[in-house]
Amino acid sequence: MLDSAPAAVASYPLPQPLLTINPAGDAALQRGSLEATHLLKHLFRSFDGHLALRLWNGKILSLGQGAPVDAAHAFMLICHTPQIVRAIVLGRDRLRLAEAYFRGDIDIEGSFFAALRLKDHLNSICLSSLDRLRAVFKALRLHAATRSRKNNTPGSSSLHARVVKRHSKTENQGAIQFHYDVSNVFYALWLDKAMVYSCAYFEQPDDTLEQAQQAKLEHICRKLLLKSGDHFLDIGCGWGALIIYATQHYGVRAHGITLSQRQLDMARHRIAQAGIEDRVSVELCDYRDLPGQDAYDKIASIGMFEHVGLKNLPAYFAKVIHLLKPGGLFLNHGITHDVEGWEKTSSTEFINRYVFPDGQLDTISNIQRGMERAGLEIADVESLRAHYALTLRHWVARLEQTHEQALEHVSEPTWRIWRLYMAACALEFESGEIGIYQVLASKRVRSPTALPLTRRYLYPAVA
């Protein structure tokens, strides 16, 4: 199923490096090349794959024990500066190579997805004390050979998000604005026409992204048994795709909330264009500030609860219970982790530093336990892990195809962050490190549930 997703663009043209070095006639850089060659061969001597690497002077190294792979999975790592090789050994920041890619000090030619699998080897490098001492010595010699060369590339600190510690309203709003208030046009380049920024639903592996996202909207509406006259709330409504679809196709009265001003502006514009302002509304609002009790028949939260913070999940589910009518339905759609809690790793640190400052994930079992403790009765749990892997591969392919247009709205480092983030997430969904679930629940009442006895209502073709 996953093999049918769009392949990475093997012929992706390399952008001009953000740092350029002319090595012609530079003896220091030539000495640095020799030191780097010895150091890299030492670090990759146990690598069971194959890595082609081009140094700043044009020299190509063949590293690892494996044979060269087929063209579809081949790639070359290009180091534009000696500092990158030294940073592998001496750098303390686990994300130093990612930042080097953002700055343009490293480029990847060929299969981007295959190149990202190097992370597993880099994380597994374990040198003896003697070997590490030798590696450090070589790295220092490399530094000595090239220290006259200054890296004039600006740092990536401006790309860092502010640290979120308490998931307060101010912190959460800042985090959402950091992520979503980049540029509506930038998102439109690689999302579907409805701009649904969450996992699509592929009824067939070769469905287009547009087909899969429309199928997802329909799937959500069917799960919630939406019907004419229902008062429907979407917590984290994005650019308004779900509330617009539910209003137009199911006749509900819908309300959406977001913390992104740019999303709010576009959602309101789309609602006005559709001529449904009398039945659907959207506002800039934190979920904690939503007024009313027993106000909504149905509530959806699509790709939002990951921002809540694990400590705040009880309050979040309690708020849902407060807003939902007795017996009302709630659909929680979100990403989960394969281990409990949100421990600090290179992956979690990357997400919080560059993409989702307030993002925290937990296991599906802990999420369900929190929902039940709040008073929600779980009716259905569906894994969409394979669907999100497909979705992300579509997004990455579109992002690569629109590289030049994207640079009219975001910087090259920002574009690279999104490319790396989404490609890495696709691989993590494929490996099972992260998952995604739709959990359908109802506000518990002491009477028979209003849900159908079977799931046939979700799939009318087989009814």
Question: Cβ(431)–Cβ(196) under 8 Å?
Answer: no
- Mean pLDDT over all residues of the chain? 82
What's the confidence (pLDDT) of residue 175? 47
| Enzyme catalytic residues | 425
Nearest to 184 by CA among 175, 195, 174: 195
d(CA 327, CA 335): 26
Q: Note the pLDDT tens digit of each residue in 445-462.
A: 988 888 999 999 998 765
Q: Running DSSP on this structure, what letter comes out for residue 352?
A: I
What's the confidence (pLDDT) of residue 345? 74
Looking at per-residue pLDDT, the higher value among 404 and 21 belongs to 404
d(CA 2, CA 169): 38
Amino acid, res. 356: F
Map residue 244 onto helix, strand or coil.
helix
Q: Residue 34 — pLDDT band, cuts 50, 70, 90?
A: confident
What's the confidence (pLDDT) of residue 84? 77
Question: Cβ(86)–Cβ(41) under 8 Å?
Answer: no
Which whole number is the average pLDDT over 147-166? 49
The partner residues of 254 in beta bridges, in order of sequence, read 232, 280
What's the confidence (pLDDT) of residue 449? 83
Q: Note the pLDDT tens digit of each residue in 196-231.
A: 999 999 999 999 999 999 999 999 999 999 999 999
Taking CA atoms, 363 is separated from 4, 24, 302, 389, 437, in Å, by: 28, 54, 17, 18, 10
What's the confidence (pLDDT) of residue 460? 77
What's the confidence (pLDDT) of residue 4? 34
Which whole number is the average pLDDT over 339-365? 81
Q: What ranges in 275-381 are assigned the alpha helix state H? A: 313-323, 346-350, 364-374
- Per-residue pLDDT at 399 exceeds 80: yes
Vertex 426: Cα angle to 415 and 11 (nearest 5): 55
d(CA 8, CA 427): 12
Look up the pTM and report it.
0.84
Q: Note the pLDDT tens digit of each residue in 63-90.
A: 888 877 777 778 999 998 877 777 666 5
In the chain, domain spans: 2-155, 169-462
What's the confidence (pLDDT) of residue 50? 85
What's the confidence (pLDDT) of residue 25? 42
- Per-residue pLDDT at 270 exceeds 50: yes
Q: Could you give the percent of the chain with pLDDT greater than 70?
A: 77
Q: What ranges in 117-201 are assigned the alpha helix state H? A: 118-124, 129-146, 169-180, 184-190
Q: Running DSSP on this structure, what letter comes out for residue 378?
A: E
- Per-residue pLDDT at 360 exceeds 60: yes
Give the pair of three-digit tokens for residue 26.
């530079």
Nearest to 153 by CA among 100, 79, 88: 100
Residues in the chain: 463
Q: Running DSSP on this structure, what letter comes out for residue 454?
A: S
What's the confidence (pLDDT) of residue 28? 56
Which residues, in sequence order, are CB contacts of 95 under 8 Å at separation 6+? 346, 349, 350, 353
What's the confidence (pLDDT) of residue 10? 34
What's the confidence (pLDDT) of residue 66? 80
- Choice among 10-24, 109-123, 282-296, 355-369 with the minimum mean pLDDT: 10-24
Q: Note the pLDDT tens digit of each residue in 109-152.
A: 999 999 988 877 666 655 555 555 555 555 555 555 555 444 44
Q: Residue 321 — pLDDT band, cuts 50, 70, 90?
A: very high
Which whole number is the average pLDDT over 367-396? 97
Q: Superfamily for 169-462?
A: Vaccinia Virus protein VP39 (3.40.50.150)
Which whole number is the average pLDDT over 182-201? 94
- Per-residue pLDDT at 413 exceeds 80: yes
- Per-residue pLDDT at 397 exceeds 60: yes
Q: Could you give the percent of the chain with pLDDT greater than 90?
A: 55
Exposed/middle/buried for residue 119 (C-beta within 10 Å: 0-12, 13-18, 19+): middle
Which whole number is the average pLDDT over 243-248? 98
Cross-sheet strand order for the sheet of 324-337: 280-284, 253-258, 231-235, 296-302, 324-337, 434-443, 376-383
Dihedral class, residue 167 (left if φ above 0, else alpha if ψ from -120 to 50, else beta): left
Nearest to 43 by CA among 97, 88, 94: 88
Which whole number is the average pLDDT over 288-294? 95
Which whole number is the average pLDDT over 97-111? 89
Amino acid, res. 269: H
